[in-house]
Amino acid sequence: MTFLRTALCQLHPITGAIKQNTIRLCATLDELEATGCDLAVFGELSITGYPPEDLVFKKQFIADNLAAMQKIAEHTKACAAVVGFIDRNEETGAIYNAAALCYNGKIQGIYHKQKLPNYTVFDEKRYFTPGADATPLNLNGLAIGLSICEDIWHIEDGPCAEMARQGADVLVNVSASPFHRSKEVQRSDILVRQAKHTQLPIVYTNIVGGQDELVFDGGSLVLDATGNVVAQAEQFQEQILQVSVQVPAGSFVSRYKGAEANTLADDIARDDPQRDIWEALKLGLKSYVHDNGFSTVCLGLSGGIDSALTAVIAADALGAENVHAVLMPSRYSSDHSIGDAKTLCENIGISHTVVEIEAMHKSYENQLLKAFGTEVKGITDENLQSRIRGVTLMAFANQNGWLVITTGNKTELAVGYSTLYGDTAGAFAAIKDVWKTQVYTLAQWRNTMASGSCIPENSITKPASAELRPDQRDDQSLPPYDVLDAVLIDYVENNQTATEIIAATAADEESADMIHTVTRLVDRAEFKRRQSPLGTRVSARAFGRDRRMPVTNRY
């Protein structure tokens, strides 16, 4: 036996930033060349970023990506590289999700992805033609079974099994596998099963970072031929991890002369699901803000749990100095809400400004009274306050070059408990895919961290309220959140109908009426969700790329 010194290059490619990504890849190759590394493995579509979506339909985009691939290949020396890119058949015009094996200044072989995912957040059949060749590629006498992401999820009928039959010595998979709750467990299980089935070691490199609503968690790893994890990179951060992979002895001779020890990532940190969600929310927000050329955000801070949690996520992700809170009390705001908001700002070190909206509210009421001929009241008046706050936040953003972060959660988004052009106005919804009950769990979890309790206990324990009318509480309009979220999870994430939920829960007449009411609210709010900002996906079925329902819908 001998060792293949491999570098798992777990990087954050920015979608569309072909030049910037290419410079980064070449610089990484220079660093690895000097260490005696044999093979650098980058992630899926590491030149273009993933997913490129309809950029693929731009001929110049494909041409620029191909030129970048050639430049990277020419940059390689003795250290080989596996690089994800978009390939094109010049005769047929077919486009492929591809990976190239390069060394000594040339592309030595290309693999085209065969299993194109077309479910949940994936639309690859819209863009790519599936490949058909599973022949291993040659790396100085070593047979590399190269595959891309979804390919390795198919055990018996996939290209990896065929590569093993054709004499591959090692499987190398480049991936862009987005995070959701429990995804790492699913991914690890598949890789273990694949290693045991093919009896080959696996080198798996995943990208890391946010891309719009998706977030990629890294967690790249190497398994031996029995399915044991040899080494693993961290989640939610960039890392270049060099690993010595045991391969069959033959004509291959490693360049590496150092010790062969490998390091496992800290498994303790991986046992906390709240930590994973928190890190995903942080990374999704940070990537969106920075990759779009911004550094600072603002948000409306009410003293409630949702805005408090959002503010802490933003401070953790961007640094407290880059987060500005705007407190916008009205005639209905309680003293403790203003106090809780100020306490939070002090606890996490973010700046804040107080903008009283009473004068603006009265001005609107007076002008609308003239137009309507009657008093502004009810839902019209409640939404008016929310929209005044939205306008105010956008003014802060425009004046200072900031982004507005909205604070609504998944439960509110589901049932339409939000105001268009009010609390939905903004660039990014940090907790868009977090149910209300989970908001409380995350807040309590964050308060146990080593940095100390930061969210005021009153923000967690007081009854939830929009404070848009006297003595308003959420439970006057909605079922208790534990009951509501259970129904919503079945309807939205588990894709059940109201009838199925009623049958499964053996609901009595009152509960059945509630379930029908809730599901109707979800359907009626579809038009709001279509106009709401993006937000980080942390569940297996989020609003957005996952769940695409017709707005006009009578089913």
- Match 């639309």 to its residue by tokens: 123
The residues, ordered by sequence, that sit 6+ positions from 123 with a Cβ below 8 Å of its Cβ are 51, 53
Which of 44, 150, 234, 412 is catalytic? The answer is 44
Phi first, then psi: what are they for 146, rounded to 5°?
Answer: -90, 130
Question: Is 162 an active-site residue?
Answer: no
What whole-number distance in Å separates Cα of residue 291 and Cα of residue 446? 26
Which token pair is 256?
A: 């590496």
Burial (CB count <10 Å: 0-12, 13-18, 19+), residue 512: middle
Nearest Cα to 352, choosing from 288, 307, 285? 307
What whole-number distance in Å separates Cα of residue 349 and Cα of residue 352? 10
Name the 3-class secondary structure at 8. strand
Question: Is 102 an active-site residue?
Answer: no
Which of 9, 37, 102, 149 is catalytic? The answer is 149
Contact 503, 458 (CB under 8 A): no
How far, CA to CA in Å, does 471 sit from each of 303, 355, 476? 15, 22, 10
- Match 């569309």 to its residue by tokens: 16
Nearest Cα to 37, choosing from 80, 83, 99? 80
Which of 37, 79, 102, 113 is catalytic? The answer is 113
Number of Cα atoms under 13 Å in the Cβ half of residue 337:
23
Nearest Cα to 152, choosing from 73, 252, 220, 245? 220
Q: Burial letters for 203-214: b for 16+ Cβ neighbours within 10 Å, e otherwise?
A: bbbbbbbbbbbb
Question: Is 183 an active-site residue?
Answer: no
- Sheet containing 142-148, strands listed edge to edge, beginning at the edge strand earlier in sequence: 137-139, 142-148, 170-175, 202-206, 221-223, 229-232
Q: Which residues are catalytic?
A: 44, 113, 149
